[in-house]
């Protein structure tokens, strides 16, 4: 990795840190809720060492989709730490958010596998068609010398 890229990433981390700090300072209940509901994303970020962290992206996006409803309730209700803890205290809120995150992770793991199987099947079908054509060709032209 070049020196310039490293410097840009380091700056981005600093910006993200500042944004998070600002969020904690300005909207502590919101930050608390996000911290709890998106905890699986942080865990996924610790284990995903792939370039671009594709599993983290899927877990984050799925987790966010499950956070929208609790955040709306918090925004429309009292914007306090107690309200935030109250919502978080409802078992189905955390369960739904973490299940969505788990679904994202499973999706990130299974989608490549499924696609791989599909591509392999398509390749084999094409190879079968090509070989059949080749056999017909050799039968019609016995003197041909094929490499396969």
How far apart CA 132 and CA 109 sit, in angstroms, is 36
How far apart CA 122 and CA 120 sit, in angstroms, is 5
How far apart CA 121 and CA 114 sit, in angstroms, is 11
In contact, 96 and 62? CB cutoff 8 Å = no
- Please say which residue, 36 or 100, places its beta carbon nearer to other proteins: 100
Interacting residues of 93 by C-beta distance below 8 A, sequence separation 6+? 37, 70, 87
**Backbone CA torsion sign across 89, 91, 95, 97:** negative
- Options 64, 74, 88, 97; binder of other proteins; rule CB under 8 A: 64
In contact, 44 and 101? CB cutoff 8 Å = yes
How many chain residues bind other proteins (CB under 8 A)? Answer: 47
What mask of x and - would describe binding to other proteins in positions 123 to 142, judged by CB under 8 A?
A: x--xx--xx-xx--xxxxxx
What mask of x and - would describe binding to other proteins in positions 5 to 44, judged by CB under 8 A?
A: ----------------------------------------
- Interaction with other proteins in 66-125: which residues (CB under 8 A)? 66, 68-69, 72, 100, 104, 107-108, 110-116, 118-120, 123
Task: For the CB of residue 146, give the shortest distance to other proteins in the complex, in Å.
Answer: 5
Q: How many CB atoms lie within 10 A of CB 85?
A: 13
The residues that touch other proteins, with contacts defined as CB under 8 A, are: 52, 54-55, 57-62, 64-66, 68-69, 72, 100, 104, 107-108, 110-116, 118-120, 123, 126-127, 130-131, 133-134, 137-144, 146-148
């Amino acid at each position: 990795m070049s020196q310039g890229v490293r410097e840009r990433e380091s700056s981005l981390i600093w910006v993200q840190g500042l944004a998070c700090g600002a969020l904690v300072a300005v909207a502590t209940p919101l930050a608390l809720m996000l911290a709890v509901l998106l905890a699986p994303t942080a865990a996924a970020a610790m284990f995903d060492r792939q370039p671009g962290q594709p599993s983290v992206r899927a877990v984050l996006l799925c987790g966010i989709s499950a956070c929208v409803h609790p955040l709306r309730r918090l925004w429309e209700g009292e914007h306090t730490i107690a309200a935030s803890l109250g919502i978080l205290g409802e078992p189905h809120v955390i369960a739904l958010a973490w299940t969505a995150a788990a679904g994202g992770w499973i999706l990130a793991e299974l989608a490549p596998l499924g696609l791989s199987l599909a591509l392999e099947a398509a390749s084999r079908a094409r190879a079968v068609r090509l070989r059949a054509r080749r056999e017909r060709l050799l039968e019609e032209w016995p003197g041909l010398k094929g490499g396969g």
